């Protein structure tokens, strides 16, 4: 239960910190943090939680990561569902807290997107469904390779949170214009449920693509990082 609680709180922090930076600070008049700031915010949430709860739950914070770690032989199948439930609940609670804060500003509207992920007309750069699908699959694949490699017992010890946090920062720098960057079904769900309409209609992509990418990432790391018997 402590591990599930850690996953709940860690994912809560990821969504509140990452999506909160996008909703509250990205375009704040004259001193907005912009795309670079939002990218670092997401990376910092993972980096800080990796040090805070990594020794308790492994700090997955992401259903795709849990699935990828299971596919890579690093996680037990019996823990998958409880981890995913805890992650999604943490994300939804964070979305609720963010809504309470954001709606305290005059002129706030969920029609602005509330940091939801989307494609087509709801992609920040107007990217197509195919472009969004490929982007999310490839970015999640790379993220799993980073995670599996950085946490490999042969890797330098104590630096995994830095590699993983900066890896997520880089992923956001690449893909925010395409989909607003998901690579995390819980993160997408946590805000989409408050927007409803198009955000929930397009949510399927941000479950399917990261999970496919997670399996691919596990397969890639098994190939390049596996040891000879």
Phi-psi region at 108: left, alpha or beta (left = phi > 0; alpha = psi -120 to 50) = beta
Instruction: Report how far residue 221's alpha carbon sits from residue 128's, in angstroms, rounded to the nearest whole number.
Output: 29
Across the range 105-109, mean pLDDT stands at: 88
Helices and strands in the chain, H and E counts: 9, 0
CA 14 centroid distance within chain: 8
Q: Contact 189/92 with Cβ under 8 angstroms?
A: yes
For residue 79, what is the enclosing H or E element?
none
Evaluate if pTM is beyond 0.85.
yes
pLDDT of residue 229: 42
Confidence check: pLDDT of 207 > 60: yes
pLDDT of residue 208: 98
Out of 1.20.1080.10, 1.20.1530.20, 1.10.10.10, 3.40.50.300, select the CATH number for domain 2-223: 1.20.1080.10
Residue of 58, 91, 89 lying closest to 76 (CA atoms): 58
pLDDT of residue 28: 63
Average pLDDT in the chain: 94
Across the range 156-174, mean pLDDT stands at: 95
Instruction: Report how far residue 140's alpha carbon sits from residue 155's, in angstroms, rounded to the nearest whole number.
Output: 21
pLDDT of residue 86: 97
Q: Contact 174/125 with Cβ under 8 angstroms?
A: no
123: helix, strand or coil: coil
Confidence check: pLDDT of 37 > 70: yes
Across the range 85-110, mean pLDDT stands at: 94
Domains of the chain, residue spans: 2-223
| pLDDT tens column, 25-35 | 887 666 678 88
């Amino acid at each position: 239960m402590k591990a599930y609680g850690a996953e709940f709180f860690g994912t809560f922090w990821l969504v509140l910190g990452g999506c909160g930076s996008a909703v509250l600070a990205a375009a704040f008049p004259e001193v907005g943090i912009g795309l670079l700031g939002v990218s670092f915010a997401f990376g910092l949430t993972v980096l800080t939680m990796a040090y805070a709860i990594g020794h308790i739950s492994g700090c997955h914070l992401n259903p795709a990561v849990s699935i990828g770690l299971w596919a890579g032989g690093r996680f037990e199948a019996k823990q998958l569902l409880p981890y995913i439930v805890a992650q999604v609940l943490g994300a939804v609670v964070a979305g609720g807290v963010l809504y309470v804060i954001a709606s305290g500003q005059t002129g706030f509207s969920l029609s602005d997107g509330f940091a939801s992920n989307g494609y087509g007309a709801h992609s920040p750069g107007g990217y197509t469904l195919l472009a969004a699908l490929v982007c999310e699959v490839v970015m999640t694949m790379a993220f799993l390779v980073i995670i599996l490699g950085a946490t490999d017992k042969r890797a330098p010890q104590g630096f995994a949170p830095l590699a993983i946090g900066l890896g997520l920062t880089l992923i956001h720098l690449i893909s925010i214009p395409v989909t607003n960057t998901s690579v995390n079904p819980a993160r997408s769900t946590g805000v989409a449920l408050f927007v409803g309409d198009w955000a929930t209609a397009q949510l399927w992509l941000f479950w399917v693509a990261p999970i496919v990418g997670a399996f691919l990432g596990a397969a890639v790391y098994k190939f390049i990082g596996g040891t000879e018997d």
